[in-house]
Amino acid sequence: MDKKVPELLKLTKKLLDQSMEIVSDSLPDTESVPAEEVRYSIFLCVQMSEALKFGYGAYYSCKHGWGHGGIGAARSIYEILLDIKYINQDKTSKEERFTRFLDHGAEYLYRKMERIQESGQTVSQKDQDKYTNAYGQLKKKYNDKRRQEIDSGAEKADATPKYRQYNWAGLNLKEKADAINWEQFHQLYKDLSNLSHVSIDTTLDAIIGSAQNQIEVDLSLYSSPVHCFTVLTVAFTCIAGILEEYMGYFGIDHSCYPILADFWNDYKELLDR
């Protein structure tokens, strides 16, 4: 285990606990929020909540040395922050991007209905009609809008991102990261993704020796503390980023939580050692 991991664990736990306290103390009353802002308020609360769940999952996995167990959680936290940053990256596009994010809920419900049916469960005809109709309208909405813009002379690259299944932004993760100038940080995500799949280098790393056509393989069926540093680095940075977005949007005074600055300073000092 990297010698910095024990301190990184402590900092991550402190950040998670402080974030939980901030969220618990400041859950907004949506009845007092302007109607046009309610959707985004709820969205941000849900995203913050999900990030904390994944954050604690990553923390407890790494606390016990199971770095592999925290990889998926760290990747999910990164994706949450990436979506929030991408939605807010351009004020003129924010509403459209956010609407696309919500619209794809229709696709999720449609795909969920399909999975339920495939498992043998019954979906009422009313729900079938509702989800199928919403999904059809979703595809038509974006395909028609894109076609109209291109027919009007807009370049394909500048037109409304075309409809893509399972992809609300019309961009892959790398393209979203490029859009908000996160190319360097995105490499950490790629490293985690590589670890979470049985990639070629993972396969080759398992081969620790060979002789006379006999291959010796190390299956690594034990804890994986070597991955804890990367998992916690991504988790800490992204939780801090999501919390910053949350506090900024709801106007939470940072001066009420001066310890947050200490966490961040301690984190940067730890990495610089």
Q: Has residue 270 got a pLDDT over 70?
A: yes
pLDDT at 199: 54
Q: What percent of the chain has pLDDT over 90?
A: 47
List, for residues 136-188, the tens digit of each pLDDT value: 998 999 999 999 999 999 998 888 888 887 888 888 888 899 999 887 778 88
Q: Name residues whose C-beta falls within 8 Å of residue 236's C-beta, 6 or more positions apart in sequence.
A: 8, 11, 12, 15, 267
221, two tokens: 């069926």
List, for residues 232-243, the tens digit of each pLDDT value: 999 999 999 999
Q: Has residue 32 got a pLDDT over 90?
A: no
Helix (H, G, I), strand (E, B) or coil at 63: helix
Distance of CA 266 to the CA centre of its chain: 24
Q: Has residue 223 got a pLDDT over 60?
A: no
Half-sphere exposure of 33 (CA within 13 A, CB side): 14
pLDDT at 204: 47
Taking CA atoms, 24 is separated from 18, 34, 58, in Å, by 10, 21, 21
Q: Has residue 197 got a pLDDT over 80?
A: no
pLDDT at 225: 75
Helix (H), strand (E) at residue 72 = helix 67-88
List, for residues 82-114, the tens digit of each pLDDT value: 999 999 998 898 998 999 998 888 888 899 999
What average pLDDT does the segment 31-40 reach?
Answer: 71
153 Rama sector, left if φ>0, alpha if ψ -120 to 50, beta otherwise = left
